Structure 1
Amino acid sequence: MNSFEVAKRIEQIAKNKEISGAELARRVGTDRSTINRYFKGSRKIPMDEIAKFAEALGVDPVELLIGKEELTKIKNIYPIEEKVKIPVIGKIACGEPILAQENVEDYIYKAPDNLPSGDLFALIAKGDSMEPTIPNGAIVLIRVQPDVESGEIAAVLVNGDEEATLKRVKKSGNSIWLVPDNPKYEFKQVTKDYPARIIGKAISYEKKL
């Protein structure tokens, strides 16, 4: 691997996608000065960083290693499945649709195999209220839908529609409860004093190391 050639490909792709050096550094988890050294060739990019740059730029890691033209030739011989870009939702902008750009803080890329139909987004589980089912820090894949069956885990908007939380939804008659899987937390009943709105069903999760 020619590290400088890889760095120049990264630099060009970032420029084409209007991703600044500072933003690229944030996505990769490093600092701007390190990115600059990579681009200038004064520091080699470690092999284990290639996947991080590929995810940050939304491209195939092989494209960074050999270039888009060579990758296209390979795909023509051995078809490679394109990945689906899924937004990771942060704090919800009041009044904005859940998938509005204002709400997106990052992206993950998944192979289309076994992905459910419909609009998808992801949430990062914060805290241990859904442990052991969903650990703190897990990236949870959500399918957009306005309701779930009783007992299923949903992404729910609370706090005036500005905060998305993951809870198990339990229905009893006309009552709806938001139930944490961790028994040390209390149930919350959905009422006019504690309004909540289901925005999607939790499908699966992955835990980054």
Structure 2
Amino acid sequence: MKSKVKKLSEQEKTRNLTETGVINFKNRLNLVLEGLSGNAFAKKVGMSEAVIRDYLCGKTYPSLNRLAIIAQKCDVPIEWLATGKGGCRLADESSGQVSVHIPFHNLNETNKAFSVLESIPFDLTLIKHHNYDSKDLAAVWAKGDSMEPTISNQDIIIVNKANCKPIDGFLYAVQYDDQISVKRIQHQGSNLVLISDNPKYPNIIGDKNDLQNFKIIGHVIYLLKNLD
């Protein structure tokens, strides 16, 4: 009889947590981490890693005092953190937004290369952790082996179109000869050199003052490898 009463009590507790929104605290805490490891976040808020780990897996919930500390250290509303109600800069919790769809970059309207997969979902916390604007991001299919071993055929590359200023050694998506390629950039006097990681491919050289033959689409920020 006692065990039955205890079971009902647990059901009541779960119902209360669900109705108030507290049960989804772990999801909001994952957003608040903004890409930090559990250990780094624990140091940020002055708590033990074990405590944060229990919060993230939904094993326990924070006291009001600890909830207030996390909200203050992470600059989020305490009501949103506790219940999911109200607005927050990290995500629109009411819509369940934890990812954004990044469109594939097309050369023109008639290009059908991306007809099978026109956008890709991407973790919102990664974008916000690095202060990227999702509207500036585009996905590009990797084609061929010119960037092996770094990038393989059919890998997916995420580029930041807001960053087109070339820096030596960095990877950029570049449009030239009616195609998109990813190359390393190198400044050589008045020339801008596009370099392939695969040594069998020659460098492509363009005049910095006359870059009509190719343009930089954006800086490569993420690479999604095809492991098949």
Bin for the TM-score computed over the shorter chain = 0.5 to 0.7
Q: Does 1:168 align with 2:184?
A: yes
Distance (Å, rounded) in 2 between the aligned partners of 1:175 and 1:188: 10
Q: CA RMSD in A?
A: 3.0
How far the C-alpha of 1:114 sits from its partner, in A, is 2.0
Amino acid corresponding to residue 114 of structure 1 in structure 2 = L
Extract unaligned runs of 5+ from structure 1: 1-72
- 1:93-148, Cα deviation, whole Å (9 max, x unpaired): 18x9xxxx999641110111222413101111000000111111100110002222
Shift of 1:81: 5.0
Residue identity matched to 1:204: Y
Secondary structure, counterpart of 1:89 in structure 2: coil
Match of 2:122 in 1: 110
Deviation of 1:84 (Å) = 0.9
Q: State the TM-score, normalized to the length of structure 2.
A: 0.50
The residue aligned with 1:85 is 101
When residues 176 and 127 of structure 1 are mapped into structure 2, their CA distance, relative to the original with a 3 A threshold, is same
Q: Which residue of 1 aligns with 2:61?
A: none
Structure showing the higher helix proportion among its residues = 2
Matches of 1:151 and 1:193 in 2, distance apart? Answer: 19
Question: 1:207, CA displacement in angstroms?
Answer: 2.0
Tell me the equivalent position of 1:66: none
Question: Quick one: distance in 1 between partners of 2:114 and 2:155?
Answer: 17
1:180 and 2:196 are equivalent in the alignment = yes
Aligned counterpart in structure 2 of residue 138 of structure 1, from 127, 146, 155:
155
**1:124 — aligned with what?**
141
What do the CA deviations read for 1:10-62 (whole angstroms, capped 9, x no partner)?
xxxxxxxxxxxxxxxxxxxxxxxxxxxxxxxxxxxxxxxxxxxxxxxxxxxxx
Alpha-carbon distance in 1 for matches of 2:159, 2:179: 15
Residues 176 and 214 in structure 2, CA contact (< 8 A), matched pair in contact too: yes
SS of the residue corresponding to residue 124 of structure 2 reads coil
Partners of 2:192 and 2:225 lie apart in 1 by 29
- Report the Cα distance in structure 1 between the residues aligned to 2:181 and 2:143, rounded to whole angstroms: 8
Inter-partner Cα distance in structure 2 for 1:197 and 1:158: 7
d(CA) in 2 for partners of 1:194, 1:184:
26
Residue identity opposite 2:119 in structure 1: Y
User: Across the two proteins, how many residue pairs are aligned to each other?
Assistant: 129
Q: TM-score, normalised by structure 1?
A: 0.54
Larger radius of gyration: 2
**1:93, 1:103 within 8 Å by CA — same for their partners in 2?**
no
The alpha carbon displacement at 1:89 in A equals 2.1
